[in-house]
Amino acid sequence: MWEAPETIGRYRIIREIGAGGMGVVFLAEDQVLQRQVALKVLRPQPGLTPEKQAALAERFLRECRVAGRLTHPNIAKVYDAGEDNGCLFLTMELVHGDSLRDRIDLLGPMGPPQAVDIARQIATALSYAHSRGVVHRDIKPDNISVSPTDRVKVMDFGVARLATDITVSSPGTVIGSPSYMSPEQIQGGDVDGRTDVFTLGTVLYEMLTGRRLFQGSSVPEVAYKIVHTEPDLGGSFPPRLRALLRRALAKDPRERFATAEQMLTALRDPLLLRWDLAAGDRREDDSALGVPVAAPGRSRVLMIGLVGGYAAAIAGTLIFAGPAAVSLAAGGAAVALTARLAGGARSSALAGWGALCAAVLAAAHTWLDW
């Protein structure tokens, strides 16, 4: 059983404030700068040879130096990192608030507006980090702090890559829960910013429902579901929000948002939380987010609007062949055709009825001219 010393480096340990699969977090005092910090101490990893332990320490320090250059209001600042008597450690700004994990466990599901607001802040932090070549790799509720005013801080940049390395270096060892891993992480594939997009999707789902998206009685069962099973997006979500989740959670990274910035743009969509969309608009919303969707038959309202509009326009032109009839009916049909090709379901239907009205008005105008 590992016991923490009273001091590590220049930091005096005050008390433990958290623990996870990789290490322990302490409230500590920087005895040089005389300020309180969060000190994360990584437990010694059994089963690693001295050579692997040394390589791991070197890579950890290198990753922490990269993370230490990240300065963003939604990222917990990394102050220092080092090794003391065989203990790898890093210090971060002391964030006041609860972890998102504690928030969900205590209060349960969030309403869509609150969940989306938190997801936007996480996506903002990820977009900034990705633009500087840093991928988090371990986005999960435990690594996200939320203040009483819902200000988000993403933590543990620079540590997640170490967790992956330990897992790979020690076959059969799993660090933490695999519930928030992406398919490519589980399969040992290449990892980039789209991995963070996937895991942010799982976190957003959990905020909305209060439960993990991928669950199972064993680690292999959870891993199998992440790689092979399409998630059941149960729950009641606005249509565009459901489409956003479906895209973020695509098994193939090529079908996800290409960047966290793209996902952030979708999260800022003013219609994201709208419920009052017709069935045709729901399919349109999926396409607007770039989600591959099936192509069922158009709604009856849409078909009636288009066919009726075109037929009435043609009839008006043939029967009432005056100049006004031709111009108005042809104009109405052109508007309907344009909306059909470039617009959505609702605008197409309205334009179709507009063509019908144009033809009727053209007929009436020609009759009055007679």
Q: Is the pLDDT of residue 309 over 60?
A: no
Going by C-beta distance under 8 Å and a sequence separation of 6 or more, which residues neighbour residue 77?
A: 68, 70, 71, 92, 93
- Do the bridges between strand 23-30 and strand 11-19 make them parallel or antiparallel, or are there none, so unpaired? antiparallel
Determine the 3-state secondary structure of 106 from DSSP: helix
Residues 254 and 289: their CA atoms lie apart, in Å, by: 14
Determine the 3-state secondary structure of 82 from DSSP: strand
The Cα angle at residue 349 between residues 361 and 293, in degrees rounded to 5: 165
pLDDT, greater one: 32 or 170: 32
The pLDDT confidence band at residue 57, using thresholds 50, 70 and 90, is: confident
- What are the pLDDT digits (tens) for 94-108? 988 899 999 999 999
The pLDDT confidence band at residue 347, using thresholds 50, 70 and 90, is: very low
Residues 118 and 97: their CA atoms lie apart, in Å, by: 14
Q: What's the pLDDT at 31?
A: 95
**CATH top-level class of 98-288:** mainly alpha
Q: Which of 244, 179, 178, 237 is nearest to 209 (CA)?
A: 237
7-92 and 98-288 share one CATH topology? Answer: no
Adjacent-strand bridge partners of 41: 24, 89
Residues 105 and 293: their CA atoms lie apart, in Å, by: 34
The angle, 0 to 180 degrees and rounded to 10, between the axes of the packed helices 260-267 and 193-209 is 30
- What are the pLDDT digits (tens) for 266-293? 999 999 999 876 434 544 445 555 544 4
Rg (CA), the chain: 28
Q: What's the pLDDT at 164?
A: 47
Q: What's the pLDDT at 47?
A: 72
First to last CA, the chain: 101
**Other C-beta atoms within 10 Å of 49: how many?**
9
**Other C-beta atoms within 10 Å of 341: how many?**
8
- Do the bridges between strand 35-42 and strand 23-30 make them parallel or antiparallel, or are there none, so unpaired? antiparallel
**CATH top-level class of 7-92:** alpha beta
Q: What's the pLDDT at 19?
A: 75
Residue type, 361: L
Please state, rounded to an integer, the average pLDDT across all residues of the chain: 78
By annotation, the residues acting in catalysis are 138
- What are the pLDDT digits (tens) for 134-188? 899 889 999 899 999 999 999 887 655 544 444 444 444 444 458 899 999 999 8
Going by C-beta distance under 8 Å and a sequence separation of 6 or more, which residues neighbour residue 364?
A: none
Domain spans of the chain, in order of start: 7-92, 98-288, 300-369
Q: What's the pLDDT at 88?
A: 85
Kindly tell me the sign of the dihedral angle through the C-alpha atoms of 102, 106, 109, 112. negative
Residues 121 and 75: their CA atoms lie apart, in Å, by: 10
pTM recorded for the entire structure: 0.70
Determine the 3-state secondary structure of 114 from DSSP: helix
Residues 335 and 300: their CA atoms lie apart, in Å, by: 20
Provide mean pLDDT across the span 45-73.
80
- What are the pLDDT digits (tens) for 218-266? 999 999 999 999 988 866 889 999 999 999 999 999 999 999 999 999 9
Provide the 8-state DSSP code for 141: G
Q: What does the block give as tokens for 178? A: 């695999």
Q: What does the block give as tokens for 95? A: 């964030």
Q: Give DSSP secondary structure letters for 221-276.
A: HHHHHHHHPPP---S---HHHHHHHHHHT-SSGGGS-SSHHHHHHHHT-TTTT---
Residues 241 and 239: their CA atoms lie apart, in Å, by: 5
Helices (H) and strands (E) in the chain, counts: 13, 9
Provide mean pLDDT across the span 13-42.
88
Residues 163 and 38: their CA atoms lie apart, in Å, by: 19
Going by C-beta distance under 8 Å and a sequence separation of 6 or more, which residues neighbour residue 3?
A: none
Q: Is the pLDDT of residue 14 over 80?
A: yes
